Chain A
Amino acid sequence: KMVLAPVIFPNEIHSLPYSMFFSLLLILQIQVIENDKASRGGQIYATNIRGQVPPLVTTDCVIQDQGNASPRYIRCTAYCFPSSSDMAKQAQIPLAAIIKPFAAVPPNETPLYVVNHGETGPIRCNRCKAYMCPFMQFIEGGRKYQCGFCNCINDVPPFFFQHLDHIGRRTDHYERPELSLGSYEYVATLDYCRNNKPPNSPAYIFMIDVSYSNIKSGLVKLICNELKTVLDNLPREEQEETSAIRVGFVTYNKVLHFFNVKSNLAQPQMMVVSDVGEVFVPLLDGFLVNFQESRSVVNNLLDQIPEMFADTNESETVFAPVIQAGMEALKAAECAGKLFIFHSSLPTAEAPGKLKNRDDKKLINTDKEKILFQPQTNIYESLARDCVANGCCVNLFLFPNQYVDVASMGLVTMYTGGTLYKYNNFQVHSDGPQFLSDLRKEIGKKTGFDAIMRVRTSTGFRATDFFGAIYMNNTTDVEMAAVDCDKAITVEFKHDDKLNEDSGALIQCAVLYTSISGQRRLRIHNIGLNCSSQLADLYKSCETDALINFFAKSAFKAILSQPLKTIREILVSQTARMLACYRKNCASPSAVSQLILPDAMKVLPVYINCLLKSCVLVGRPEIPTDERAYHRQLVMSMDVADTQLFFYPQLLPISDAFPTAVRCSEERLSEGGVFFLANGLNMFLWLGVSTPPELIQGIFNVPSFAHISTETLLPEVDNPYSKKLRSIMDYIQSNRPYSMKLLIAKQREQAEMLFRQYLVEDKGLYGGASYVDFLCCVHKEICQLLS
């Protein structure tokens, strides 16, 4: 075993004794987060300085847009780009931006201003078509402006003319959002609309699998009951009383049932379409309705659906025709929209998109493993293309009891900007609340429909690769049937030339979309980054959380084409090379055996190790293939905060008076403690064997450890312990896209194994190095690179 060298950070120049090594590790990840919270939390962060590194995603602060997009919308892996591609190659640091164009902003921050230039539409550079933004330089007394992106000199349209003040700034600078803000919206003109026609308001179609298992589990009843109330909360524009979104209903098993719920009907009408080979929409009028107007008919229908199929023994289902039908319905209604599909089983009925169980554990850790992540048939891919072309976003709620081939079934969801939810072995009483919470959140989400995103950059570099729940027909247009407040697109940039250090690296992301009220709009996010020829500047401006987001997405995308082993090796070697470059060029000279990490990348190794240990990249027969495909798909659309928590869960000792996060390691657990862990998908409550009875009484309302049933839901008990735990849970849950189901893991019981997977600093249950082992390995590589 190699001798570990002390880890040295640049600001802790003095050598540390070996014995201190572990204590340093102890504080590592947690300490970085806590330090940032302490120094920047609760403050106002203004975006007025180009290339300024924002607070960490884990730090709460108020963000003020002063010319650059808020980090809620855009986060970058580095805020100071290397000025040349040689330098970028040397550093090996990925240059990427994680863009969440529809990010939710807290109520104490200003929502986006909407600019309306009437029939002329947004002002754009004649050459590169970039939109008017703070990066445009006005010259010749305000009659012309120079585009910050392509340097083209454009005339200022007469209606937009304004005099310049003594520093060359327009006198209306602060009155116009497009001159002073990083993010704002334009009202689009008819030129930006499909067929030059103003869009209709979007529609939501609920498509419920009513085959035997869903009826038997009570799921159909649960959904129908919930829809009766949840539809009152369809998203609407701030100023509107009711939502403009129309709703429609379909049930299906081997055949599809459409419902006419027109408000003037005495009772709903059901239309059965059995021609699943060539599915079509059997009705024109009355399928998509305003819920408020048709409430009684819709409620009548929702009451009847569970009863109607109560005696069903149909266990076969179709799937692709369901999506097809939903898309055709939206197409016929000439609107964009979302499908909400509630499905439980592998679609084995004779129809297009029929799937067979092809889960083959023998492929794991072979070159053919990638097949497991690819769809079984290419029908889903062409279906996805059609869906995107028609602005049809597919949200899929899966309730599998066995293998359902998530890789195939989730594909359309993935490409159309939809969300995939999966509830294994769904039980109404234990999983119902989690599902309903997800459903409510999904229905209420602020969303842009039928969207197309374009990322423009200033000269010298350009966007080369895009990762996310997106579809791309060409290399520049990012198409999204819908993009909601949780979806992030990771964009990778590459140099094509030298960057100018004075003008910096400018990025403009424009999203053309249809709003929930059916208005066509453009959402513009601008951010300016610095450029430098000094590697030190680059390393100083890096953001590890964003880097992990990028690494995760690019690795998860690569598994479709490369063997996992190669991907893992690339991740390790790139980490080592990034660190070695720093060591070689930026750190003060020290012994080769010392591991020196840049300040901004202190936690990179631990995160990379977590990523390497994720079930997607660790192929083991014990891990269900569906679970890996599911995680892969979720990560692809995650933003920086989500990936941060997903790869390094938060572990809180609840038993402490003031719980602060601790490292995810077994050694932090104590027999007398209660620990809470969350990763954005799951929550655990770990109970040590000698947890004080009053704590158990307080939380579970049972007298002792032995009385705690892991099956039950957490009771609401009126005492400080319970309240504290629940408020912590609520807080963690509050900004997360997925509802987390709480699992109770009692020490030394079966469920603890599941919990232990999430102690990411330890040696993995299914393989994967402990943090210390990984650090050694990286260090070894760095040493090799340096020598």
Chain B
Amino acid sequence: MATFLEFIQQNEDRDGVRFSWNVWPSSRLEATRMVVPVASLFTPLKERPDLPPIQYEPVLCSRTTCRAVLNPLCQVDYRAKLWACNFCYQRNQFPPTYAGISEMNQPAELLPQFSSIEYVVQRGPQMPLIFLYVVDTCMEDEDLQALKESMQMSLSLLPPTALVGLITFGRMVQVHELGCEGISKSYVFRGTKDLSAKQLQVIDKKTIKKPSNPENDWKGERYASRPCQPIEQETVCRKIDMNLTDLLGELQRDPWPVPQGKRPLRSSGVASFYSYFLCVLQCTFPNTGAHILMFIGGPGTQGPGMVVGDELKLPIRSWHDIEKDNANYVKKATKHFEALANRAATTGHVIDIYACALDQTGLLEMKCCPNYTGGYMVMGDSFNTSLFKQTFQRVFTKDMQGQFKMGFGGTLEIKTSREIKISGAIGPCVSLNSKGPCVSENEIGTGGTCQWKICGLNPNTTLALYFEVVNQHNAPIPQGGRGAIQFVTQYQHSSGQRRIRVTTVARNWADAQTQIQNIAASFDQEAAAILMARLAVYRAETEEGPDVLRWLDRQLIRLCQKFGEYHKDDPGSFRFSETFSLYPQFMFHLRRSPFLQVFNNSPDESSYYRHHFMRQDLTQSLIMIQPILYAYSFSGPPEPVLLDSSSILPDRILLMDTFFQILIYHGEPQWRKSGYQDMPEYENFRHLLQAPIDDAQEILHSRFPMPRYIDTEHGGSQARFLLSKVNPSQTHNNMYAWGQVSIQNIVLQVFMDHLKKLAVSSAA
């Protein structure tokens, strides 16, 4: 084995797993002293183009409380055709189809390189995908037009078997029926009250049907109600497609007049509520992949789920209002959307929110919908921006096989070996309340279960999973024993197949008293930082900001005390090994990130940032915490520079990636104004100017959601985005009058000094 860094990288590439510790302390007591828990970031659908799915089903351990999947770590007796479960030690007979196995002829799941393996479930019907568009019509014509175009674009990308539905809302909620000829039919509901499922069912009774028999449907019930329709199917294919296109084409702004000084009446809450029921009614099987795409142009102003009144003079709640308990609608609306999100999550339906407006739209209240269901949350200024258009297009990205890069109705189950238990998960999931032998009593995040529902999955979706070592101090683990964890992800592939991806990993145990060096060397500070950050953000959602920061600081100090080398009460003597060296800096940036600081952010923005932080993989999450700053100069190739104000120089071009923003800083403006770049003899200069733009484009093209692109220069108004992110080590303190917030935005150096002092303090 090479270095831990290589090992970590290899593991991430192969299994999508990053552990905070790659050697585990062998007892419960020692584990708690490690400060950072044994935990992992896990990306269930990690892209593995080299991993062809296997066309048979996994072999399971026969013990009913275990049901672990046969994996490369299992002991196999080829002669007796037996295998021993590495989690419960049950000896299992191979099924008859495995009669031919031998040491020379091993099934894929026994090969070490298949620690992650994907099975295709052959049983059961192929299930269609459902895409339900829920569209706010209270918006400007240009916005609506742009949105219509985007929706039409997405329709053209849907697979032929997909079912689509359309709900529009404004003052009222309109459920459109697709596929009737000659007339466009819709059901209209008041936007002020939730009808019960039963009341809705009365109308939609006929809509619960499988699309498998389209001919019957068409002859028998030409005009029967059916809000969802396959967009393409045999002879009727084009008609329905055209029908929806026409329908979208004729979609008009909400016609009801909006009096002066009022907001338009917008029934977001009711619309989302109905959309959920419609999806349920459409699905003859639970867990059918369904995406509810909500396009929102402003805050809900009536009915359940309203977030602001319609009087324009009363602004939408701010963090200040919420802290002062002055936000009248927040609790009720949140409750409404939480109930909805929970129901949707239970039935396996994904709710996406695409909110584009200059003001807030109520993402704070609605965030649980995408958060619980693994849906997307996109926030923009207008639907008529490339930010929205391209982001939305990226939702429908396809893989090499032409399938959407999204999974539906996923469940993640975790099996652990006896010495370790699962405490909980943080990410776009909900608990399935599945108790089992590997569930820890100590809950972290969404805990108390070994199974979670992840309704919407994509190759980036990453969960943080927290474990607890339960082995007692006096029960030594045999030499060479390894702790194993199996991640079993079942999901509906966008092709309609049900698939099971199984990842089995194992890590060595080490006695912390004798082998602390080993454990320290196995520390993955990047993963640890993100895992701690997720915990902090999770707590921030429910607790007061200062408490979380205090907790975070205490953890950091404890880590320093545990793993730093120092002489008591001598801050100058403090040394941190390389595996820990970056960790304090991550924490420094995390403290001042918008995930923990709400200052200068609206509640919607905070919800938006946190939403993305809680689901992205390690690399992206790191960028979010600590933006990347590249410098471009004549002196050499672009190089990463410190995220510090000292990096800002007049003759330096900078590219900053904060995940949500890509910023190019051109230094002094006269550079470009001089126009040298247009002269043939200064081609070099032109290349220099172009290089960061090209690099930025590359990021812009791959990231979801598409970042805001900012092109600025020294003294430009937009330069504030850069200045707000860099460590204010230099004179900026005075220049930009940051004095008032310097308590929060302390300089990195000061932070580090302080940290050292506290870490070495014998009083602590």
Contacts and interface: CB of A to CB of B under 8 A. Distances in A.
Given A282-B172, A285-B255, A300-B182, A271 B221 contact: no
A272 B183 contact: no
A280 B220 CA distance: 31
Contact of A269 (B186, B203, B257): B186
A308 B203 contact: no
Nearest to B184: A269
B190 A308 contact: no
Interface residues of B, number: 26
Contacts of A278: 190, 193
A255 B203 contact: yes
B183 A275 contact: no
Nearest to B172: A282
Given A268-B183, A269-B183, A275-B195, A308 B223 contact: yes
Contacts of B186: 269-272
A282 B267 CA distance: 14
Contacts of B257: 284
B418 interface: no
Contacts of A311: 220-221, 223-224
Interface in A630-644: none
B188 interface: yes
A273 interface: yes
A301 B221 contact: no
B189 A275 contact: yes
Nearest to B223: A308
Given A266-B250, A284-B255, A301 B187 contact: no
A273 B188 contact: yes
Contacts of A307: 223
Given A270-B185, A273-B188, A309 B250 contact: no
A267 B172 CA distance: 22
A354 B125 CA distance: 45
A378 interface: no
A327 B257 CA distance: 20
A304 interface: yes
A301 B174 contact: no
B185 to A, nearest CB: 4
Most buried by A among B183, B187, B189, B223: B183
A265 interface: yes
Contacts of A308: 183, 223
Given A285-B255, A309-B223, A271 B202 contact: no
B116 to A, nearest CB: 50
Interface residues of A, number: 26
A311 B257 CA distance: 38
Interface string A462-475: 00000000000000
Interface in B144-193: 172, 174, 182-190, 193
Interface in B253-299: 255-257
A292 interface: no
Contacts of A267: 182-184
Nearest to A310: B223
Interface string B104-117: 00000000000000
B184 A274 contact: no
Contacts of A274: 187, 189, 199, 202-203
A278 B223 CA distance: 26
Most buried by B among A271, A304, A307: A271
B381 interface: no
Contact of B183 (A270, A282, A283, A285): A270
B188 A282 contact: yes
A273 B184 CA distance: 14
A710 B224 CA distance: 42
Contacts of B221: 311
Nearest to A305: B183
Interface in B234-264: 246, 250, 255-257
Nearest to A286: B255
Interface in B197-242: 199, 202-203, 220-221, 223-225
A266 B174 CA distance: 19
A304 B180 CA distance: 11
Contact of B190 (A265, A268, A280, A300): A280
A301 B183 contact: yes
Contacts of B189: 273-275
A258 B223 CA distance: 15
Interface string B27-69: 0000000000000000000000000000000000000000000
Given A284-B255, A309-B223, A272 B184 contact: no
A282 to B, nearest CB: 4
A265 B220 CA distance: 27
A268 B186 CA distance: 11
A658 to B, nearest CB: 58
Nearest to A285: B255
B684 to A, nearest CB: 59
A159 to B, nearest CB: 40
A177 B431 CA distance: 86
Contacts of A301: 183
B148 to A, nearest CB: 16
Contacts of A273: 187-189
Interface string A297-329: 000110010011101000000000000000000
B204 to A, nearest CB: 10
B174 A282 contact: yes
A516 to B, nearest CB: 27
Given A265-B250, A275-B195, A304 B188 contact: no
A304 B255 contact: no
A467 to B, nearest CB: 40
B250 to A, nearest CB: 7
A266 B190 contact: no
A272 B203 contact: yes
Contacts of A269: 183-186, 250
Nearest to B200: A274
A311 B255 CA distance: 33
A265 to B, nearest CB: 7
B246 A266 contact: yes
Contact of A275 (B185, B190, B225): B190
Contacts of A309: 223
Contacts of A271: 174, 185-188
Contacts of A283: 188, 255
Contacts of B224: 311
A663 to B, nearest CB: 58
Most buried by B among A266, A267, A270: A270
Contacts of A270: 183-186
Nearest to B257: A284
B223 A272 contact: no
A265 B246 CA distance: 11
A150 to B, nearest CB: 45
A309 B174 CA distance: 21
A287 B754 CA distance: 72
A274 B187 CA distance: 8
A270 B188 CA distance: 10
A729 B748 CA distance: 106
A463 to B, nearest CB: 43
A284 B256 contact: yes
A284 B256 CA distance: 7
Interface of A: 255, 258, 265-275, 278, 280, 282-285, 300-301, 304, 307-309, 311
Nearest 10 Cβ contacts at the A-B interface: A282-B188, A270-B185, A284-B255, A272-B187, A271-B188, A269-B184, A308-B223, A285-B255, A274-B203, A270-B183
25 contacts: A267-B184, A268-B184, A269-B183, A269-B185, A269-B250, A270-B184, A270-B186, A271-B174, A272-B185, A272-B186, A272-B187, A272-B188, A273-B187, A273-B188, A274-B187, A275-B189, A278-B193, A280-B172, A282-B174, A300-B182, A301-B183, A304-B183, A308-B223, A311-B221, A311-B223
Given A269-B183, A270-B184, A280-B172, 11 more contacts: A266-B246, A271-B188, A272-B186, A272-B203, A274-B187, A275-B190, A275-B195, A283-B188, A300-B182, A304-B183, A311-B220
